[in-house]
Chain A
Amino acid sequence: MSHNKDGGGEKRLVSTRTMEIAVALILLLVAGIVIADSLRLGVRWREIEGPGAGYFPFYIGVLLAISSVVVLIRAAFDKSGTATNFVSKPAFRQVLAVLVPLIVYVAALSVIGIYIASAVYIALFMWYFGGYSPLKGAAIGAAISLSLFLMFEIWFLVPLPKGPVEEFFGF
């Protein structure tokens, strides 16, 4: 149980119950979008075409709505989730330490190309989490990027996003 592990003493960020309710509400919103768009497309039988384009998704949306409402009601009335911790502060900081750089990395992909971005990302990750020297990180990052480059661009001829550096070398 996560309850025993990171509940109790550690600083709580958000309770499981709050997350349950939030996710159920998001799912309900998704169900609403699906149903609304299905109705726009037409859920009825058409003379020649058969079932309309919204026919199948409509029922999927209804099922999704029903199940998220049940989950929502259960979470709302079940107070036991209030005490349990969805994620503790230090744990969440660790997750963010991966997620935020990942988002920056993905944003950088299309600008400086995947190979340079990957090498930098791997180097920083190794330095921050593994305590490696920046030099060692850069060496391993560059090696991984280079092998990816050889495999995708040279051998299998699959083009990946490239930036000014690759362009400089004529790719």
Chain B
Amino acid sequence: MEELSALWGGFIVVLNPFNLALMIVGILLGVVIGVLPGLGGANGVAILLPLTFSMPPTSAIIMLSCIYWGALFGGAITSILFNIPGEPWSVATTFDGHPMAQQGKADEALTAAFTSSFVGALVAVIVITFLAPVVAKFALKFGPAELFAVQFLTFASFIGMGKGSPFKTLASMTLGFALASVGLDTVTGQLRMTFGTAELLTGFKFLTAVIGLFGIGEILASMETGLSFAGTHARLRLNAVIETWKKLPAYWATSIRSCIIGCWMGITPGGATPASFMSYGIAKRFSKNGERFGKGELEGVVAPETAAHAAGTSALLPMLTLGIPGSPTAAVLLGGLLIWGLQPGPLLFVEQKDFVWGLIASMYLGNLAGLVIVLTCVPLFAAILRIPFSIVAPAILVICAVGAYTVNNAMFDVWMMVMFGIVGYVFNKLGYPLPPLVLALVLGDMAESSFRQSMLLSQGSLTIFWSNELVGGIMTLGALLLSWPVIAWVLDKFREAKPA
């Protein structure tokens, strides 16, 4: 086992007091960054990159990747407590995490989220350790058609299961796509639907929309029912972590499925966001408690968190082996590598053994240290909800405004946030689902550009999506998932007809 001895060497590099201290500092900074709106993993790493220039590369990358871990953990905190996802991939965590917090089970939701992210990331690191070269080759097979197929699969796995009117789901999703297409068209350079306003040039930003739709919309809705927020009455349970851990093994199947989805989506440049949505959708489809998803199911927190972190972590693999960053944060880290004079690519494993295996070892240790740190703070985080709503609500609104402003440093986004807040409030009351809108807004640009690139390759023929086994398989799976409600309905009829 050559990998094991190399990994052991990596641990020896990492395990010195200086690096361990950097690790803890990194995780704490990361959690702060993750909790603060408008400062995500990518921004946080970018802001703190200059701090690390004076350090040796190995120490620097250890600190940066620990900031990244911390930010990932931190993102789950605001999603669950306040329904404000700080990162696209935390959106799916709010679906069940926030209802749980409202029912006074914030500590359980947080523990489940932290533990699942740890599991997801750990599995991904193990995959990186042993499969780096094999997996790197696979990532190269992914062209625009395959990418579009993956995005199609994400939408398909998420849509067919809507409870309400399918037309409202479709309306919500297409509205998201329409909003995503606003701004400068990257292919032709034309301005789309900006109508002469400079502010719309960059389009609608995901974060602005999400802060408005979820954060502001939530506050408006809870104002209507008076100032009750059940989370306030939650008991402070110090053993919540242990109690939740007892429940988690029951979701082993969801966990494994989410790990596979996550690793696969991270290595192929699908990314963490589609992974979390897809994993949530598929868990809902296959779970015994599927119809209770969205009302505060623990499993609904486990699925997206596991997948998002498996994807986020395995996204580092194509970066190391091929120099292709699989996520925005990986892209910033890649920039760091170049600044330190390290050339990512297959040779990195040969020439910079200490560095690569130090990084991989720090992933194991950083993840573990992160888990221990955030889990000990669970009662503390949950206690935030015990603060009276009339203090928390205006503080959330202020933080939402800060978050929206920092997206582009523009007041326009703060106004948009207010508008999205009203839209979120009205849509919620009329039964228009918000998740498809957000998903389309996040993936709209990517889906469109991969679709157009595939069309260019095939000269406008749709057959490119069935041109080889890989892409054809994914597309067929997507089509099956999309038509699942119809299939299930027919099967039901068939079963009813037989015994009678």
B43 CB to closest chain A CB (Å) equals 9
Determine the chain A residues whose CB is within 8 A of the CB of B47 once the complex forms. Answer: 156-158
Determine the chain A residues whose CB is within 8 A of the CB of B38 once the complex forms. Answer: 158
State whether A33 and B193 are in contact (beta carbons under 8 Å apart), knowing that A53-B185, A60-B181, A106-B415 are contacts in the complex. Answer: yes
Q: Once the chains bind, are B192 and A71 in contact (CB under 8 Å)? A: no
Determine the chain B residues whose CB is within 8 A of the CB of A148 once the complex forms. Answer: 398-399, 402
Q: Once the chains bind, are B188 and A57 in contact (CB under 8 Å)? A: no
B211 CB to closest chain A CB (Å) equals 13
A171 CB to closest chain B CB (Å) equals 16
Question: Which of B97-105, B257-265, B450-458 lies at the interface?
Answer: B450-458
B464 CB to closest chain A CB (Å) equals 12
Q: Is A67 an interface residue (CB 8 A)?
A: yes
Q: Is B308 an interface residue (CB 8 A)?
A: no
Determine the chain A residues whose CB is within 8 A of the CB of B406 once the complex forms. Answer: 152, 158, 160
Q: Is A4 an interface residue (CB 8 A)?
A: no
Q: Is B220 an interface residue (CB 8 A)?
A: yes
**Among the interface residues A27, A92, A140, which one has the most CB atoms of the partner chain B within 10 A?**
A27
Q: Is A91 an interface residue (CB 8 A)?
A: yes
Determine the chain A residues whose CB is within 8 A of the CB of B36 once the complex forms. Answer: 151-152, 156
Bound together, the chains give a CA A65 to CA B392 distance in angstroms of: 40
Residue of A nearest to B168 (CB): A71
Q: Is A80 an interface residue (CB 8 A)?
A: no
Q: Is A99 an interface residue (CB 8 A)?
A: yes
Bound together, the chains give a CA A131 to CA B389 distance in angstroms of: 12
Q: Is B177 an interface residue (CB 8 A)?
A: yes
Which listed residue, A16, A37, A103, A152, touches B402 by the CB 8 Å rule?
A152
Bound together, the chains give a CA A53 to CA B181 distance in angstroms of: 9
State whether A91 and B224 are in contact (beta carbons under 8 Å apart), knowing that A57-B193, A105-B401, A106-B418 are contacts in the complex. Answer: yes
Q: Is B338 an interface residue (CB 8 A)?
A: no
State whether A121 and B394 are in contact (beta carbons under 8 Å apart), knowing that A30-B175, A94-B226 are contacts in the complex. Answer: yes
Q: Is B134 an interface residue (CB 8 A)?
A: no
State whether A50 and B455 are in contact (beta carbons under 8 Å apart), knowing that A27-B171, A130-B391, A161-B411 are contacts in the complex. Answer: yes
Q: Could you tell me the dominant secondary structure of chain B's interface residues? A: helix
Residue of B nearest to A5 (CB): B225
Q: Once the chains bind, are B223 and A95 in contact (CB under 8 Å)? A: yes
Q: Is A167 an interface residue (CB 8 A)?
A: no
Q: Is B409 an interface residue (CB 8 A)?
A: yes
A131 CB to closest chain B CB (Å) equals 8
Determine the chain B residues whose CB is within 8 A of the CB of A45 once the complex forms. Answer: 460
A70 CB to closest chain B CB (Å) equals 4
Determine the chain A residues whose CB is within 8 A of the CB of B418 once the complex forms. Answer: 102-103, 106
Bound together, the chains give a CA A104 to CA B174 distance in angstroms of: 32
Interface residues of B in 178-192 (CB under 8 A from A): 178, 181, 185, 187-188, 190, 192
B431 CB to closest chain A CB (Å) equals 9
Q: Once the chains bind, are B223 and A67 in contact (CB under 8 Å)? A: no
Interface residues of A in 45-82 (CB under 8 A from B): 45, 49-57, 60-61, 63-64, 66-68, 70-71, 74
Determine the chain A residues whose CB is within 8 A of the CB of B405 once the complex forms. Answer: 109, 114, 160-161
Bound together, the chains give a CA A36 to CA B188 distance in angstroms of: 18
Question: Which of B107-115, B340-348, B421-429, B490-498 lies at the interface?
Answer: B421-429
Q: Is B397 an interface residue (CB 8 A)?
A: yes
Residue of A nearest to B171 (CB): A67
Q: Is B393 an interface residue (CB 8 A)?
A: yes
Q: Once the chains bind, are A64 and B174 in contact (CB under 8 Å)? A: yes
Q: Once the chains bind, are B192 and A53 in contact (CB under 8 Å)? A: yes
Q: Is A87 an interface residue (CB 8 A)?
A: yes
Q: Is B28 an interface residue (CB 8 A)?
A: no
A-contact 0/1 string along B419-441, CB 8 Å cutoff: 00110011101101000000000
Q: Is B302 an interface residue (CB 8 A)?
A: no
A-contact 0/1 string along B73-116, CB 8 Å cutoff: 00000000000000000000000000000000000000000000
Which listed residue, A19, A49, A74, touches B426 by the CB 8 Å rule?
A19
Q: Is B372 an interface residue (CB 8 A)?
A: no
Q: Is A83 an interface residue (CB 8 A)?
A: no
Bound together, the chains give a CA A20 to CA B429 distance in angstroms of: 10
Q: Once the chains bind, are A98 and B223 in contact (CB under 8 Å)? A: yes
Interface residues of B in 377-408 (CB under 8 A from A): 388-391, 393-395, 397-399, 401-402, 405-406
Q: List, sorted by A's number, 30 A–B pairs whose CB atoms are closer than 8 Å.
A: A16-B429, A19-B430, A23-B426, A34-B178, A34-B181, A41-B192, A51-B455, A57-B177, A67-B174, A71-B165, A92-B224, A94-B223, A98-B219, A98-B397, A103-B418, A106-B401, A109-B411, A121-B394, A121-B398, A122-B395, A125-B390, A125-B393, A129-B227, A129-B390, A129-B393, A130-B388, A148-B398, A148-B402, A156-B47, A158-B47
Which 3 A-B pairs have CB atoms at the shortest separation, nearest pair first? A130-B390, A125-B394, A64-B174
Which residues of A line the B interface, CB within 8 A?
2, 16, 19-20, 23, 27, 30-31, 33-34, 37-38, 41, 45, 49-57, 60-61, 63-64, 66-68, 70-71, 74, 86-87, 91-92, 94-95, 97-99, 102-103, 105-106, 109-110, 114, 118, 121-122, 125-126, 129-132, 140-141, 144-145, 148, 151-152, 156-161
Q: A57-B178, A61-B178, A144-B398 are in contact. List 7 more A-B contacts (CB 8 A).
A: A37-B195, A60-B177, A98-B397, A125-B397, A148-B402, A152-B36, A152-B402
